[in-house]
Structure 1
Amino acid sequence: MGARAAGAFRRTAIERSDQRVAWERTDQAFFAAGACHVLAWACRDSYPDRPIEITAVRLAGEGQVVHTYAVWDGWAFDHSGWNPEPLLLSVNTDFEGHPLEGVKITNSLAEFCAEQHHRMPDQYWHDPLPRARDYVSRYTPPWA
């Protein structure tokens, strides 16, 4: 598939205001914009034997992150599947038209959501964790 910019899937006004409408988007759109953080944690939790980290990107100098993904040994996992992390950063930077900087996330999902004003899994239309685990399972990890 290749890496695609998360911003290409930004939610519309109705998708931002109506959780049911947001939920009904394709899996890729749902996990690109609105639930990327849920997917990143699901990826990490799916491979407890691997040192998978969580990383987010933000516009250089800003505090709010614009996309979250899982990282392992130079590979990044997000809505586009597994891609080299430099490629993921490049396509997102090109799309945004501004420099992006990576931020290693070391706190829990709950702490991340509180800091970044993101939804916790229980705040979605339905529980996104089974959907995220299924999505992760569709992609062959780079170590396989």
Structure 2
Amino acid sequence: MYVLAPGVKQDPVRRWALPDRVFFAAGACHILCFAFLRRWPQAGAAPLWFRPAPGFTGNHIVAAAPGWVFDYHGYSRPAAFRAHMWAKAQRWWPGWSAEEIALPPQVLVSEAESKTYRGLWLREPEQFLHDALPRAEAFLDRFPPPPSAGFSPP
């Protein structure tokens, strides 16, 4: 999780100029998740949305499979990921919590479909300054393929 300076998300040029890790942590995590699912459909992962409790910010979407999750950090054990996410969010927003909601993959790249979920409003890849999907695909090149059965990420 990153907290951006005021106005960055509303300025397409400043948003696009963010380092990849920050870009995919603060507003484009759903695009990274979609690219991951498309590249490795055999991994058995699915989109998982962390919807903040009412009155809080800090949405996040990851690719989740039994035994691991994937986001801009790379692969993590689910319990370690949740503990890290909760601790970091609570530093910025005391009392923060989130509900975990499974999403169908097509929601990740459809603004209209995302709006059918309370509290979710996702940009489509082409709604960024440039198409964010090729950027996500290039970012994925930094990581190995998904863990095999029985593998436990660090």
TM-score range for the pair, normalised by the shorter chain length: 0.7 to 0.9
Deviation at 1:43, TM superposition (A): 0.6
1:3 equivalent in structure 2: none
2:75 equivalent in structure 1: 82
Q: Aligned residues, how many?
A: 137
- Identity rate, percent: 28
SS of the residue corresponding to residue 55 of structure 1 reads strand
Distance 1:45 1:123, change over 3 A: same
1:142 equivalent in structure 2: 147
The structure whose Rg is larger is 2
1:36 equivalent in structure 2: 29
Deviation at 1:11, TM superposition (A): 2.3
The aligned runs of 1:63-142 (5 Å cut-off) are 66-97=59-90, 98-106=96-104, 108=106, 109=108, 110=110, 111-112=113-114, 115=117, 116-140=120-144, 141-142=146-147
RMSD value, Cα: 2.2
Correspondence 1:25 to 2:18 = yes
Letter in 2 for 1:82: Y
Q: 2:47 touches 2:105 (CA, 8 Å); kept in 1? A: no
Distance 1:114 1:33, change over 3 A: farther
TM-score (norm 2): 0.79
Using the alignment, how far apart are the partners of 1:131 and 1:51 within structure 2? 23
SS of the residue corresponding to residue 7 of structure 2 reads helix
SS of the residue corresponding to residue 82 of structure 1 reads strand
Using the alignment, how far apart are the partners of 1:24 and 1:66 within structure 2? 21
**For 1:7-55, what per-residue CA distance to the aligned partner results, in whole angstroms no more than 9, with x for missing partners?**
xx22222212201100101000000001001001111111022221000
Deviation at 1:100, TM superposition (A): 2.5
Structure 1: runs of 5 or more not aligned: 1-5
Distance 1:103 1:62, change over 3 A: farther
